[in-house]
Amino acid sequence: MSLPGKAQAQAYPAKPIRLVVPFPAGGATDLLARAMSQRLAQSLGQQVVVDNRAGAGGSLGSGEVARAAPDGYTILLATSSTHAIGPNLNPNLPYKVDADFTPIAHVANAGNLLLVPNSLPVKSVAELISHAKANPGKLNYASSGNGTIVHLSTEAFKSQAGIFVTHIPYRGTALAIPDLVVGNVHLLIDSIVSGLPHVKDGKLKALAYTGLKRSALLPDLPTVAESGLPGYQSVTWFGVYAPKGLPPALVTRLNSELMSAMQAPEVRERLAKLGAEPVTSGTPAQFEAMVKADSARWATLIRERKISAE
């Protein structure tokens, strides 16, 4: 009875594979997809076409993959936003993570920088917390919009630190940076990719990194957890899904190919420039368990802080 599955796995892929990125070209997810797809194309012997299907916070492209045929020719590069945060903020998404997708592989993680303007008289997370407590209601923070990981990450920081800082949402962190530089806003947790250049040119101060361990790009910068908030982390994960019902043989094949791709020196080098860390081993079951745990963590924060996407 296993022969059809084996034959299918041996024949696969017989045509190009579409890798859907549910965000615009040029962002971290897109750049990761393009680095990964080149290596996959080499090992699979077929073109892997990156297809940007942006819109509705990533739900447009994700929903499209959920409705695709489970034949291995349409796969999705998902993130924390599409598969852990979004479903907890919007019950009306055009997909259900468990019901509509087959998890294949967790491929990368990326942390953020906790940024403040040079004019703010603090040099560490501890000093920031003390300053906020001494000036309740006088500080504010920027985000890339309601319900985004930047918004939630800062609310998690506020909750653990026991401080009150007013939220000011922007349509993306790029629009918030100028206000942060001049001190109109006082705090931003931003991607290391977009935040680091402003730190290097002296326009902003980075107080800490939000990953579980220090970033190789800033090895002297402590993590938030090291800086007085044990256990704090804000990490965007990236992972590959297929539509529900992908044959197990193809799940195994794609997982193996993806893990090999993430070990390739050229992929690791490109990820390092993005401030991302490759995940080079792990099963689909481990990926699924990680997503469930991450989703539960954000669900608790959303409920406790009464956060909405509106």
Model pLDDT for residues 200-246, shown as the tens digit of each residue? 999 999 999 999 899 988 999 999 999 999 999 999 999 999 999 99
Residue type present at position 143: S
pTM to 2 decimal places: 0.87
More confident residue, 108 or 309: 108
pLDDT at 192: 87
**Residue 5: band (very low, low, confident or very high) from pLDDT cuts 50, 70, 90:** very low
Model pLDDT for residues 52-65, shown as the tens digit of each residue? 999 888 999 999 99
pLDDT at 7: 46
Model pLDDT for residues 120-145, shown as the tens digit of each residue? 999 999 999 999 999 999 999 999 88
Q: How many CB atoms lie within 10 A of CB 75?
A: 25
Q: Which residues contact 84 (CB under 8 A, 6 or more apart)?
A: 237, 291, 294, 295, 298
Model pLDDT for residues 243-263, shown as the tens digit of each residue? 999 999 999 999 999 999 999
Q: DSSP character for 2?
A: -
Could you tell me which of 207, 210, 229 has the C-alpha nearest to residue 275?
Answer: 210
Q: Rounded to whole angstroms, how far apart are CA atoms 234 and 254?
A: 28
**Residue 14: band (very low, low, confident or very high) from pLDDT cuts 50, 70, 90:** very high
**Residue 10: band (very low, low, confident or very high) from pLDDT cuts 50, 70, 90:** low
Q: Rounded to whole angstroms, how far apart are CA atoms 241 and 221?
A: 34
Q: Rounded to whole angstroms, how far apart are CA atoms 143 and 129?
A: 18
